[in-house]
Structure 1
Amino acid sequence: MEIELRFFANFREAVGQKTIQREYDNDGLQAGDVLRQLPEEFPGMDLFEDGELREYLTILRNGTDITHLDGLETTLADGDELSIFPPVAGG
């Protein structure tokens, strides 16, 4: 299955591009499986703290926040888009 990963703000800088396509053989692939691999490949992707997804990160599967789905256990399907946003501050 193919998943598109989209990165925003400083995560885009850490990856060096806006999107990447990834192939996975796992039909039961979950969002957490994908997210846990990213910091190993891209050191600037500081997504987890004490094994938990960092607070204030926004992860969308096809435009829906995974916190409204099954969180890190959200199952991904072929053609899904996973968007990863760092915390945003401003005023």
Structure 2
Amino acid sequence: MQIELRFFANFREAVGQKTVHREYETDLQAGDVLRQLSEEFTEMDLFEDGELREYLTILRNGRDIAHLDGLETPLEDGDELSVFPPVAGG
């Protein structure tokens, strides 16, 4: 199955592009993709002590995975996974 990965702010810089299309096997969860990205692009620093870092926003097709099944959110062919770093400002 194919997943579109979208990166924002400094994560886009770490990956070197805004959008990446990747092929994966079926029975995939958001956490599987995020762990792979964390290993491939270590400067993204997505996890701390095995848990997704606080204040990251991960969207599956525009919906925050925190309001779905978290890292266990299932992914399907054609899904879009967007990865946002923490945002500061005021």
Give CA-to-partner distance per residue, 1:3-33, whole Å, 9 cap, x none.
00000000000000001000012x2100000
Structure 2 Cα separation of the partners of residues 70 and 10 of structure 1: 26
> Could you state the TM-score of these two structures normalised by the residue count of structure 1?
0.97
Match of 1:86 in 2: 85
Using the aligned pairs only, state the percent identity.
Answer: 84
Q: Deviations over 1:11-58 (max 9, x none)?
A: 000000001000012x21000000000122112111000000000000
2:62 partner letter:
G
Q: Secondary structure at the match of 1:44?
A: helix
Secondary structure of the residue aligned to 1:89 is coil
Misfit runs of 4+, over 4 Å: none
CA distance in 2, matches of 1:68, 1:40: 25
Q: Are residues 1:34 and 2:33 paired?
A: yes
1:67 equivalent in structure 2 = 66
Unaligned runs of 5+ in 2: none
- Structure having the higher strand fraction is 2
3-state SS of paired residue (2:28):
coil
Moved more, 3-12 or 34-43: 34-43
- How far 1:85 moved relative to its partner? 0.2
In structure 2, the partner of 1:48 is: 47
CA RMSD of aligned residues (A): 0.6
Report how many residues are paired.
90
